[in-house]
Structure 1
Amino acid sequence: MSAGLIAQPQAFRVTVEPAQVDDLRARLARTRWPDQLPGAGWDYGVELGALQSLCRYWERDYDWRGYESRFNAHPQFTSEFEGQPLHFYLRRSPEPDAKPLLLVHGWPGSVVEFHDVIGPLADPRAHGGDPRNAFHVVAPSLPGYGYSGPTRRRGYGADDIAKAFDAIMRSLGYARYFVQGGDWGSLIGTLLGANYSAQVEALHLNVASAPPPDPADPRAGLDAGALADLEHNARIFKTEMAYRELQSTKPGSLAVGLMDSPAGMAGWLLEKFHGWSDCQGDPLNAFTYDKLLDNISLYWLTGTIASSMRLYFEDAHPDRRRTQLPSVSIPTGMARFPAEFLRFPRAWIERKYKVVHWSEMQRGGHFAAMEQPQAFVDDLRLFFARFR
């Protein structure tokens, strides 16, 4: 497939204006909090005390110069492709034999997920690693997310993103490259691996979905572990998937409240970081306030919570919905983290992907690079080493 032409990338640095901070703090101070039933915990959604503590820190103690510093720690650029703004990190390795690697995030994450892994992946020598495992790291913000947003036309979906990301890689001189993805990154990585196989040498995923061989009898031939996966997914579809139904059908209605209320937006996102991570019931077991708020603040400052949710609508719209995802014939590695909120049987995934590497990780959940950066880096090094 043709990559098309991409606008000349321009160097970019994140700057937070004092007026933005003042407005945010005033809104947080005026938050009208809902009631919460005694002992409700997280059963009805976000736990009120946890959210109030996070928002209090955001209003009074969060370091905005620290936000800028963390975002500007690696070289970043903006560009445009087919009328859509694009933002991406580009950390070229000092090692002469480094291989290009595209990292693709998901929702409700962002490029913040990769802040702690870009350095070790690009410069392993400086982080106690083997310099033979170096990568030229490219980590874009999904169109519609953060500094790649908002999206500018109806119908802009995962296929468009895959095309745009391939254009970024080829514009940087990377005719062949590796891809890693989770959440939306898994879908986009799958589309890249299937439709751009001349460019994508190998694919690494930390979550993957696949259909059963026999939809009429999905349990047929599965061992006890795979059957437990299906039972787990059945519970998840009853308790964790309302967000997807809402964002796939009426994202604009939800966006009005989230765009106007920072506490409302923080609550919508914090609930996912609680439910989808290996946090043992408390998000602070998996993330610091600063890490959570770097991600939440990115959505707030750029005004992209609405366009980020629109991606669900575009992917589910009857005119654009796929009947099934394509199969992937390039070598694929899978790292399954124990608290990943959806788990598909290995036998199903191996029918759809050319799986040559499978790791059962010890800790971590949906936000793999953010929760367990060292384990994430180690597994990428291990998998991609065979293609050097």
Structure 2
Amino acid sequence: MSSAPEIRPFTVEFSEADLSDLRARIEATRFPEKETVTDQSQGTQLATIQELARYWAEEYDWRKVEAKLNSYPQFITEIDGLDIHFLHVRSKHEDALPLIVTHGWPGSVVEQLKIIEPLTNPTAHGGDAADAFHVIIPSMPGYGFSGKPDAKGWDPKRIARAWGELMSRLGYTKYAAQGGDWGAIVTDLMGAQEPDGLVGIHTNMPGVIPANIDGALAKGDPLPEGLSLSDEEQAAVEQLDFVYRHVYYAYIMGSRPQSLTALADSPVGLAAFMLDHDAASLALITRAFDGVSEGLSRDDVLDNITLFWLTNTGVSAARLYAENTTPFFGVNNVKLPVAVSVFPDELYQAPKSWAEQAYPNLVHYNRLPKGGHFAAWEQPETLVNEVRTGLRSLR
């Protein structure tokens, strides 16, 4: 008889030699000339990346986030032939609802560190014991401390199936799922697959765009004739049109990930590429390196980039875009209960009308006054409240 798959304890530990090599590479950076415009239309601006590099080499302390990660129980287990790393933080409240939280790109488990304690220990963070969650945060394949696939096939659908297996392996017979960015797509697909025990999902980047609209926007074609759109829907169309015309990083990673070898060779090159995810996030991070912290600090940003550098996952993470065949914002036929939180600086603000069509069992929809694409990272208190409220009826 074969034994149950092993779940192995894991500790983050990089050598001083690794950190010295990082600093040396930062200090040896050859920068390009200044951009020829006065805004961010050409990407990460020279002044921002130079200040990032200076702070990274002279003041930043990786050991702080390493200690934070190691303050939580971490594990690795093999699923479908690949090692999967995850944090598993149980609440002291035994009736807590298990919750698997999935990050996106250019993210990692670092994105969710701020929400762990409020979710697991609500009585110490403005909530009540009935709001408690056991929190599981995996690193996606090719990201962080999870294994790097050496063959094609690890797409979001397979990741969603792996997460169902992970929750089963941990002994959870009733749980919920949450995610943003790629994590939203994986979470949506979990909702569609309905693994045993999954009772509902929460998303902060919902997949609700009608197929005829999404298809036209993705191809740059005119919208189908005869559409009658509300003001909210028209605004979403305009936002999505902008996204599809400007997510060049996704097209590069989706078609030529192996050509991004520079991401494995230059830490500052990796940083410049990772910062340029979307206009609102880039502006927020730029302000952070100008000395104005509005949810993300310099250390927050560099914690995540340094994790990518030390694990050499710039290219392996990029391959997820090449694997994907699921529309980024399209409908995935989720019948389970769904809670939706809409942040104003997200790539697009999902209209309630589309959310109701995409999710026939929509149990929560709320438009927030502040926050963007990396909600758990930027606005942890707001996201925690949304998760508590959105999933409360599923306990």
**Shared fold by TM > 0.5?**
yes
Q: Which deviates more, 152-161 or 103-112?
A: 152-161
| Shift in alpha-carbon separation, 1:297–1:6, aligned structure 2, 3 A | farther
SS in 2 for 1:180: strand
Question: Within 2, Cα distance between the matches of 1:223 and 1:306?
Answer: 41
Q: Are the aligned partners of 1:6 and 1:81 in contact in 2 as well (CA < 8 Å)?
A: no
Q: CA deviation at 1:219?
A: 7.3
Q: Are 1:135 and 2:142 an aligned pair?
A: no
SS in 2 for 1:329: coil
Q: Which runs of 5+ in 1 are unaligned?
A: none
Q: Which residue of 1 aligns with 2:370?
A: 363
Question: Within 1, Cα distance between the matches of 2:226 and 2:344?
Answer: 21
Corresponding residue to 2:344 among 321, 334, 338: 338
Corresponding residue to 2:307 among 298, 315, 321: 298
Q: Which residue of 2 aligns with 1:251?
A: 257
User: Following TM superposition, where does structure 1 have runs of at least 4 consecutive aligned residues deviating by more than 6 angstroms?
Assistant: none
TM-score by length of 2: 0.90
SS in 2 for 1:153: coil
Q: Are the aligned partners of 1:274 and 1:282 in contact in 2 as well (CA < 8 Å)?
A: no
TM-score by length of 1: 0.92
Q: Are the aligned partners of 2:206 and 2:355 in contact in 1 as well (CA < 8 Å)?
A: yes
Q: Are the aligned partners of 1:339 and 1:366 in contact in 2 as well (CA < 8 Å)?
A: yes
Q: Which residue of 1 aligns with 2:244?
A: 237
SS in 1 for 2:178: strand
Q: Are the aligned partners of 1:207 and 1:340 in contact in 2 as well (CA < 8 Å)?
A: yes
Q: Which residue of 1 aligns with 2:284?
A: 279
SS in 1 for 2:337: strand
| Shift in alpha-carbon separation, 1:195–1:41, aligned structure 2, 3 A | same
SS in 1 for 2:119: helix
Q: CA deviation at 1:273?
A: 6.5
Q: Which residue of 2 aligns with 1:225?
A: 232
Q: Which residue of 2 aligns with 1:20?
A: 18
Deviations 1:83-133 (A, max 9, x none): 211110100111021111010111011111110101110111232321110
Q: Are the aligned partners of 2:88 and 2:134 in contact in 1 as well (CA < 8 Å)?
A: yes
Q: Which residue of 1 aligns with 2:273?
A: 268
Q: Which residue of 2 aligns with 1:289?
A: 298
Q: Which residue of 1 aligns with 2:356?
A: 350
Percent identical residues: 37
SS in 2 for 1:94: coil
> Partner amino acid for 1:265?
L
Deviations 1:224-262 (A, max 9, x none): 121111112212222x311111111001102x1111000
Q: Which residue of 2 aligns with 1:146?
A: 144
Question: Within 1, Cα distance between the matches of 2:183 and 2:208?
Answer: 15
Q: Which deviates more, 268-277 or 139-148?
A: 268-277
Question: Within 2, Cα distance between the matches of 1:28 and 1:347?
Answer: 48
Q: Are the aligned partners of 1:100 and 1:177 in contact in 2 as well (CA < 8 Å)?
A: yes
Q: Which residue of 1 aligns with 2:383?
A: 376
| Shift in alpha-carbon separation, 1:265–1:8, aligned structure 2, 3 A | same
Question: Within 2, Cα distance between the matches of 1:218 and 1:88?
Answer: 47
SS in 1 for 2:356: helix
Q: Are the aligned partners of 2:188 and 2:207 in contact in 1 as well (CA < 8 Å)?
A: no
Q: Are the aligned partners of 2:343 and 2:368 in contact in 1 as well (CA < 8 Å)?
A: yes
Counterparts of residues 62-211 of structure 1 (less than 5 Å):
62-211=60-209
> Partner amino acid for 1:374?
E
SS in 2 for 1:146: coil
| Shift in alpha-carbon separation, 1:311–1:38, aligned structure 2, 3 A | closer
Q: CA deviation at 1:347?
A: 2.2
SS in 2 for 1:51: helix
Q: Which residue of 2 aligns with 1:385?
A: 392
Q: Which runs of 5+ in 2 are unaligned?
A: 214-222
Q: Are the aligned partners of 1:230 and 1:344 in contact in 2 as well (CA < 8 Å)?
A: no
Q: Which residue of 1 aligns with 2:220?
A: none
Question: Within 1, Cα distance between the matches of 2:4 and 2:310?
Answer: 26
| Shift in alpha-carbon separation, 1:218–1:231, aligned structure 2, 3 A | farther
Deviations 1:15-72 (A, max 9, x none): 1211101111111111000001354331201011111111111111111221211211
> Partner amino acid for 2:152?
R
